Each structure stands twice: as structure tokens, then as C-alpha cells.
Amino acid sequence: MIKVAILGATGYAGSELVRLLSRHSGVALSLLASHSYAGRPFSEVYPMMRGVCDLTLSEDDIEKAADVADVVFLALPHGFASGLVTDEILSKAVVIDLGADFRLHDVDTYEAWYKVEHRSRSLLAKAVYGLCELHRSQIASSRLIANPGCYTTCSILTLYPLVKAGLVKKEGIIIDAKSGTSGAGRGAKTASLYCEVNESVKAYSIASHRHTPEIEQELSLAAGCPVTLQFTPHLIPMDRGILATCYAHLEPGVGEEEVEDAYKEAYGDERFIRLVDTPPETRFVAGSNYVDIGWKIDKRTGNIVAMGALDNLVKGAAGQAVQNMNIVFGFDEAEGLGLVPGAVV
């Protein structure tokens, strides 16, 4: 039984962690912290958890968290984690950061896209990018894991086999992603109000979304050369789910067989990736840690349209964080994640 602490437990990602971990057979929730709700029971903030998790929330305090827990999850706004994590903290507890601070290997890229100074550059070398299916062995021996973003997990996993196997051109990749509204977080902003989101769709952060360099970093690694791409996120009226529709030009001569082989080789044994032969729908993965990936070759245009769907709060955040924890602590990788997609279909 390992002990777990969560800072930022009352955001959507943090509360999803509580939901998942409350059913994990190998962990005990030791400390839940929330700057906004300190002093109140978690289940008062999230009444769905009455009787499931009634812990009282404490103040966000990483020292205390590292003292009482074997693993500390950080579910904080970007820029916070880099000011909190230290070698001393890491000597006491494994840190799994759901924020962006340790995801980009290149600190200049981080500072350029996030417009803040990185406050613990020296730790970057120790951080592992926690995309489980790509970096499993490094994760297993790490004490600082940068849990990937929601859009990035979806986009990278969808494109990785194509790029890795050299089946598509490195130039001209376009990712058009659609996300449910929980991705915008629980902050009380006018733009997130029901009547502002409902019955509408829009693009946002065009040409400037911070998940772009994260996707490019991982696909460049896979390609063995720099990959620059176009990433456009959209907000759609639903709670959970991301669909990434990815467009790439196939290299000459590449057909169905090569593509299928590449996906099967990359993910044939993966428990959370399902290769599907109809277009993936977010409802088919909602509430679960699955990523559904499908594709279609258009001979007319020479493009491949590859699509990935996941639940932004599970595989796109808390679920992958639990998966990372399972890898580090030697649990079965699916422990606590045996979730059946729960939407009505």
C-alpha cells in the first residue's frame, strides 16, 4: 500500500485523480490539498464523492505532501511546479506533474511558448516525458514524471507510428483537434459558462497553443529530424473527450498494408490503445483510459486522415498519471484503470 498526495485536488484533473485512486487497490489517499477549498471535505466540493472520499482538504504544501506520501501528484497551473519541485522533494517522493513545466526538454522553447521563466532548469534533465506507451522503461526508473497534455497524448499517439515508420512526409502535418469543455478547467470564467459554450463550436489559440511544441518534440524524436506542424484546437459542447483529426501526406508507394503494419507494430500489445476500423467517437472512450485510433487513406489526394479519441481527463490527464504511477511502483499497469467506457451508446 503506497501513500498518495495530490496538490490541486479540486480542479477537474485533480478530482479525477481522486475518483480513480479511490478505487485503486494498492494506494491510500493520504493528503488532498486545494488552495481554494482548504479546510473543507473533498466531498463537499465534489458531492458525487460523498461516502467515497470525505477527506478534509489541506493547503497546497509540497513539503508536507512529500513527507507523508510516496508519490505526489501535482495538478496545478503551469509555472507553479517548477517553483516547487526540488531535489530534496524528489528524494522523499516520486513526483508526477500533470502540468506543463517539465514536459519540454528545451527550456527556451518552454519559456517562448509559456511566457514565464522556468525556475528549476537543473531538474529538466531528470524529468521523463510520461507518455507511457512511448517511454515506459524510462518512466519505470524515474522520480520526476512530466505527465503529457491532453491534446498532446491524443495527437502524438495517433501520428507516432506513421512518423516513426517514415510513412508520411514530415512537412505539412495538420492536427485539427476537438475538445470537450472540461479541458478548460473549473475556473469561473465567462467563456466557460453553460450558455456561452452550449450550442456552439469555435477554434481557439490558433497557431499559438502551447501543446504544439510538445507534440513537435515527440514527433521529431520519432522522425529523427525536426517536425513542424499546424495544431488547431476547438471547443465543443460536451463534458469530456478529445478527437484529434490528423492529416499527413503519404510517402510514395505507401498503402493500407504498410499503415496497418506500422500501427500494429507500435501498439499491438498495448492494453489501452484500440485500433478501430470505423471512425473513433469520443463517447466510446469516455470515462475510460482507452485511446481509439482509426485512419483512412484517400488515394485521390494522397493523404492519410488518422484520428485518435480519448477522454481528456483520463488518458489525457489523471488516468495516464495513474498509469505512470503503476509503472513506477510496479503495479499492474491497468490497476485502478479497469474502466469500462461509460457513456450511453
Site for a second copy in 181-200 (CB under 8 A): 181-182, 186, 188-190, 192-200
- Judged by CB under 8 A, the stretch of 55-63, 88-96, 101-109, 233-241 that binds a second copy is 233-241
Looking at beta carbons only, is 9 or 127 nearer to a second copy?
A: 9
The interface with a second copy within residues 323-342 (CB under 8 A) comprises 338, 340-342
* Closest among 151, 302, 320, 117 to 229, alpha carbons compared: 151
Are 160 and 245 within 8 A, CB to CB?
Answer: no
Name 308's Cβ contacts closer than 8 Å, sequence gap at least 6.
154, 155, 157, 158, 243, 244, 246, 280, 291, 292, 293
The pair phi, psi for residue 212, each rounded to 5°, is -60, -55
Q: Does 236 bind a second copy (CB under 8 A)?
A: yes
Name the minimum Å distance from CB 20 to a second copy: 8
User: Going residue by residue from 110 to 129, which x/- string records binding to a second copy, judged by CB under 8 A?
Assistant: --------------------
Return the range that interacts with a second copy (CB under 8 A); candidates 27-35, 94-102, 151-159, 300-308. 300-308
Residue 150 among the catalytic residues: yes
Among 150, 154, 195, 246, the active-site one is 150
**Piece in contact with a second copy (CB under 8 A), picked from 76-84, 101-109, 155-163, 278-286:** 278-286
Reading the block at residue 88, the C-alpha cell is 530534496
CA distances from 334 to 24, 84, 111, 205 (A): 10, 29, 35, 34
Nearest residue (CB) to a second copy, 86 versus 205:
205
Grid coordinates 519559456 are at which residue? Answer: 111
Tell me the C-alpha to C-alpha distance, in Å, between residue 116 and each of 80, 104, 109, 312.
Answer: 10, 13, 11, 25
Query: CA-CA distance, 332 to 74, in Å (whole number)?
Result: 22
In one-letter notation, the amino acid at residue 309 is A
Minimum CB–partner distance for residue 57 and a second copy (Å): 15
Question: Among the candidate windows 100-108, 148-156, 204-212, 252-260, which touches a second copy by CB under 8 A?
Answer: 204-212
Whose Cβ is closer to a second copy: residue 28's or residue 140's? 28
- CB proximity list for 62: less than 8 A, separation 6 or greater: 7, 72, 74, 84, 85, 89
Give the residue from 180, 275, 269, 174 showing the smallest Cα distance to 215: 174
Nearer to a second copy by Cβ, of 142 and 182: the residue is 182
Which of these ranges, 48-56, 70-78, 82-90, 147-155, lies near a second copy under the rule CB under 8 A?
48-56
For the CB of residue 309, give the shortest distance to a second copy in the complex, in Å. 8
- For the CB of residue 13, give the shortest distance to a second copy in the complex, in Å: 11
Build a one-symbol-per-residue string for 149-178: x at contacts with a second copy by CB under 8 A, - elsewhere: -----------------------x-x-x-x
Q: Are 341 and 287 in contact (CB under 8 A)?
A: yes
Question: Which residue in 121, 145, 119, 114 sits closest to 132, CA to CA?
Answer: 145
Q: Which residues of 11-29 are buried (b: 16+ CB within 10 A; e: fewer)?
A: bbbbbbbbbbbeebebbeb
Residues 258-277 that bind a second copy (CB under 8 A): 274, 276
Q: Map the footprint of a second copy across residues 212-231, applying CB under 8 A.
A: 228-230
The residues assigned a catalytic role are 150
